[in-house]
A and B are shown apart, each in its own frame.
Chain A
Amino acid sequence: MHAALLIIILCWPAPCQSRQVNDATSRFNRAAELQRQGEWQAAAAEYRALLSVRPDYAEAQANLGVVLARLGRDEEAIAAYEAALRLNPQLTPIWLNLGILHYRAGQFAGAADALERFLRSAPEHAQARQLMGISLVELGRDAEAVTYLEPLLSAPQAEAAALYSLGLAYLRLHRAEVAGVVERLAARADGAALARLLQGQAWLEDFAFERAASELEAAARLAADLPRVQFLLGLAYFKLGRTEQARAQFEGELKRTPDDFLTLYYLASLLEKQSELGAARQRIEVALRQEPQSVEALSLAGSIMLKQGQAAEAVRALEQAVAKRPEDSEARYLLARGYQKLGRTQEAAREFAEVERLKAQAREREKERKPNP
């Protein structure tokens, strides 16, 4: 989700101007002048030269960050902002800039931290609140996000992207207000596609996969570059058993976001079902690089390896999965099958017994909920 971003371009004035002009000040002023003229490369060089002799010059670090951001060198800009804020945490606008850059890089935890610091000083700053809310939605902190985004409902200038995030938060919190957000988005020229995207997800959450697919197809027709639309459409197709269509969507999503864990996971799962075990293995391994602790991904990797006849490797992955989540009966079952293939019959029997125990336990929990009057 990319709202229209405003990077705050500040040229910090040289400190101590009334005092004796020293070399550092004059270099700072030269750099600032270059910055004002849009000479980004030269300004950056000047700030860097200054910082090589005065690394504690917070304003220079801050302005270097601004210039680097202008040059599209976001990672360096983030480092410069962070250095500036370590030197002087009171450089309030720089928290906003840092938040924006983290946000732009998809580093939502960093964005939320920085924006939270900025909002302490400027709690009503509309853009910061929107970005904060969106970041929190991306982090799954939906309830917190709602507190930042809800005022948008009474703000005519609200970004469509921020409204969409609010709708998503409502949806995930199972709050009926999502309907109002869909309506509001649908009424805007720039919100029609997002309205359908949101509604498609609502149908997905409601297991109405046919309706979800229809809605998401419409969203994609309106705006093909909607965030995660191909993943969501792929998921709807996958749930409907329309495997080839699902595969095309997942693969399309990965062209845009090659490291997206969920897309990789579902594509690997689909490929496993299609008996394309090599391709499935490759996808799940990339997914595991994103989330090495994921029990689901480790289990899927183990399952694929078992089918590939690589029981020893499978057992290693599945042992990891079981170690991370001992109560996962499915991972344990796969592990037991792996032990069987390796002839480790006692360990297999132990795992099967554990699977049986866990499943019986789950059933008891169901019974304790007592549907009988």
Chain B
Amino acid sequence: MLTFAQPSAVMRRQVRPPTAATPPPSAAAAPGVRFTEVTRAAGLGGFRFVSGTAAKDYIIEAPGSGCAFLDYDNDGWLDIYLVNGSTLAALRGGAGTPGAALYHNNRDGTFTDVTEKAGVASHAWGQGVCVGDFDNDGWEDIYVTSIGRNRLYRNNHNGTFTDIAGKAGVALGGWSSGCAFGDYDGDGLLDLFVAGYVRFDINHPPPPASGRDGETGGRGDGGAGNPQSATRNPQSNNPQSVGMGASFAPDLGQCVYRGRRVMCGPRGLAGEPDHLFRNNGDGTFTDVSERAGVADRAGNFGFGAAWLDYDDDGRLDLLVANDSTPSYLYHNRGDGTFEDVSYPSGTALNESGREQAGMGVAIGDYDGDGRADIHRTNFADDSNVLYHNDGGGNFTETTFQTGLGEITLPFLGWGTNFFDYDNDGWLDLLVANGHIYPDVDEAGWGTSYKQRLLLFRNLKGKFYEVGSSAGEALYMPRCARGSSVGDYDNDGDLDILLSSVDDAPGLLRNDGASRAGHWLTIKLIGDPARKCPRDAIGTTVFCSAGGRRMRGEVVSGQSFYSQSDLRVHFGLGAAAAVDKLEVRWANGKAEQFQLKVVDQFVVIEQGKGIVK
């Protein structure tokens, strides 16, 4: 890095980058709807996510861990599961491993740590979490990915779980990242997709960021990068200009990003394959990745994963956000195999043909045309991307014209969720942000290590960032990773759960949305005898109210490493009745219902109608 003998006053002035500065209020924000940080008050303040050391020497310390809203005890109230990471020292046997935690919802706004009783602490270097009732017993099970052996916690119906990953054949052992349950073969049993990130050998790691392998390393000297100059040449293939991480500089024997020494990877490292496990129905799974055509032979760096039915043919397709490599979209052929349609669908790359550092994914019908669109988060200095589903298997990037482009450039995005934060009937968008290089604050790149969240309000298909209008909890900088949404206090609006690197979780209570607009929340119970998983994952619901037809889905996984409420929530705005509710059951026929009441929770059971 160039340094000057006499830096000017202007240079010395610290400019607070937009990622950490308090944003101005926004006229587009929903009036009266704010988020309040209730982490401590709810009893979650004692938990701390651990992800290596502050120096962040290695890439395993970068992604952090995920979080989940789930109702593990079927009491109708969302509980919370927080995955935890570890340290190299612990992996090498020299220190204790922090554990994951399960918090039971006390139904009064507080939670109780029940980890020990539940037996779900994991004590691995945890990564992602997804939830699904894989054995159709009516109780949600938990799958936790790790650097090392994954866990499949089978719910014992009594507040305890048993890890059966090894016996079930889903333990793996490399670096598993995002995961999602979904019944791809239509047999009524939830299958499991597990993305793989990087092959990382802790005994032979790449050069550390600090220049020395250790748990307390300081910062290294800046390396001499040789970036292509935009002042002389137009944008080009130079990956450093399009928002990806470090590259290895052989002459320096270290990894550099914009001339600064940083952790190595993922570029230059070998990728970990992805895995699709078919549920055998007897508590075991079979790895069908190769046969199904989703094994990731290219070795791309998988992160976020999601099942979606993008062509509405009744079969679940598969989306994988890959870091620094083209992302995958697989079309389900219906015969147990998938066709890789990443390139022809337009979702492998951004609209300019560049691979991006894909992190998290959100699926939702943002423009109300009835089709599932895709949002994917990316590295800093690159925008997140929104792909509009045009139908016919084609997607068009609409990032900039919908307002999601320039504002996201300095942010490094991870978790992302479509949800109707103000109950106005349009899917808004949340993005959890945070950088991976701790000394980015010193670099003057217009970004920061801790970053604020971005919440975009959807006004008829265009997005407007709510700025400071929705409360301090949203703009307080964090090093966030996972994000989940769910109505933990059952008040009719969607709250936010966050995981952050080396920090406490974030529980952000939505205050005001249930007064701002009517709503309806639906728990769906599928009938395995009709080939629909019991928890109805993969089911699509269309809610017609107030002249609009909204799409909602029961989804496992998505976002980054995280699990949201399995119930389907609809904001209804001023509509005081639901004209029509169409439930397209996973692998089954659609059923229709009418509801003359709103602002309540209903339970719909396949073939039995509204049962509660």
Residues of A within 8 A of B (CB): 140, 171-172, 174, 176, 178-180, 182-183, 186, 196, 199, 201-211, 214-215, 218, 232, 235, 239-243, 262, 265-266, 269, 273-275, 294, 296-297, 299-300, 303, 328-334, 336-337, 340, 348-349, 352, 355-356, 359-360, 363, 366-367, 369-373
Contact = CB atoms under 8 A, between A and B. Distances in A.
Contacts of A330: 237, 352-354
A179 B7 CA distance: 10
A370 B4 CA distance: 33
B8 A196 contact: yes
A371 B268 contact: yes
B11 A211 contact: yes
Contact of A205 (B229, B355, B401): B229
Interface secondary structure of A, over-half rule: helix
B406 to A, nearest CB: 4
Given A207-B445, A359-B326, A360-B298, A199 B206 contact: no
Given A275-B401, A372-B269, A232 B325 contact: no
Given A273-B405, A359-B326, A340 B446 contact: no
Contacts of A356: 326, 343
A373 B250 CA distance: 11
B339 to A, nearest CB: 12
Interface stretch (B35-43, B259-267, B416-424): B259-267
B226 interface: yes
Contact of A337 (B232, B298, B346): B346
The 8 closest A-B pairs by CB, nearest first: A333-B353, A330-B353, A241-B409, A208-B444, A371-B248, A241-B406, A296-B234, A352-B343
Contact of A235 (B231, B240, B406): B231
B17 interface: yes
A337 B201 CA distance: 39
A262 B234 contact: yes
A186 B226 CA distance: 26
Contacts of A273: 400, 405-406
B2 A179 contact: yes
A186 B10 CA distance: 13
Interface in B189-229: 201, 204-207, 224, 226-227, 229
Nearest to A369: B248
Contact of A371 (B10, B206, B325): B206
B538 to A, nearest CB: 29
A206 B8 contact: no
Contacts of B591: none
B351 A303 contact: yes
Contacts of A300: 234
Given A211-B15, A240-B446, A337-B346, A371 B230 contact: no
A363 B235 contact: no
B248 A214 contact: no
B229 A172 contact: yes
Contacts of A297: 234
B258 interface: yes
Contacts of B10: 196, 211, 214-215, 218
Contacts of A352: 343-344
Contacts of A265: 234
A363 B206 CA distance: 17
22 contacts: A174-B226, A176-B2, A179-B3, A179-B4, A199-B11, A205-B2, A206-B444, A207-B381, A207-B445, A211-B10, A211-B15, A214-B11, A218-B10, A239-B381, A241-B18, A241-B408, A265-B234, A340-B344, A366-B268, A369-B248, A371-B269, A373-B205
Contacts, number: 183
B60 interface: no
A323 to B, nearest CB: 17
Contact of A214 (B13, B229, B240, B405): B13
Contacts of A232: 231
Contacts of A372: 201, 204-206, 269
B349 interface: yes
Interface string B412-447: 000000000000000000000000000000011110
A311 to B, nearest CB: 13
A56 B120 CA distance: 98
A106 to B, nearest CB: 16
A352 B343 CA distance: 6
Contacts of A332: 353
Interface in B226-279: 226-227, 229-237, 240, 247-248, 250, 255, 258-259, 264-265, 267-270
Contacts of A214: 10-11, 13, 15
Given A208-B445, A214-B10, A240-B409, A371 B353 contact: no
Given A211-B10, A240-B410, A275-B400, 5 more contacts: A186-B8, A206-B258, A215-B10, A348-B344, A371-B248
Interface string B1-23: 11111101011010101100000
A232 B230 CA distance: 10
A205 B3 CA distance: 12
B164 interface: no
Given A172-B232, A214-B15, A209 B445 contact: yes
A235 to B, nearest CB: 6
Contacts of B236: 296
Which among B1, B15, B352, B381 has the highest number of chain A CB atoms within 10 Å?
B352
Contacts of A340: 344, 394
A28 to B, nearest CB: 47
A213 to B, nearest CB: 8
A210 B446 contact: yes
Which interface residue of A176, A186, A206, A332 has the most chain B CB atoms within 10 A?
A: A206
A178 B269 CA distance: 35
A240 B18 CA distance: 9
Nearest to B411: A241
A208 B381 CA distance: 12
Contacts of B381: 207, 239
Nearest to A362: B237
A266 to B, nearest CB: 7
B214 to A, nearest CB: 15
B411 to A, nearest CB: 9
Contacts of A174: 2, 224, 226
A179 B268 CA distance: 33
Interface string B101-129: 00000000000000000000000000000
B407 interface: yes
A209 B446 contact: yes
Contacts of B326: 356, 359
A209 B230 CA distance: 12
Given A178-B2, A202-B4, A273-B405, A371 B255 contact: yes
Given A235-B230, A371-B255, A372-B204, A199 B400 contact: no
Given A360-B298, A366-B267, A373-B207, A241 B401 contact: no
A304 B584 CA distance: 39
B11 A215 contact: yes
A171 B2 contact: yes
Contacts of A205: 2, 227, 229, 231
A367 B11 contact: no
Nearest to A372: B206
Most chain-A CB neighbours within 10 Å: which of B3, B17, B406? B406
B443 A371 contact: no
B206 A204 contact: no
A269 B325 CA distance: 23
A330 B235 CA distance: 11
A334 B381 CA distance: 22
A242 B17 CA distance: 12
B417 to A, nearest CB: 22
A180 B5 contact: yes
A82 B237 CA distance: 42
A334 B352 CA distance: 7
Contacts of A369: 247-248, 250, 268
Most buried by B among A183, A240, A299, A371: A371
A345 to B, nearest CB: 9
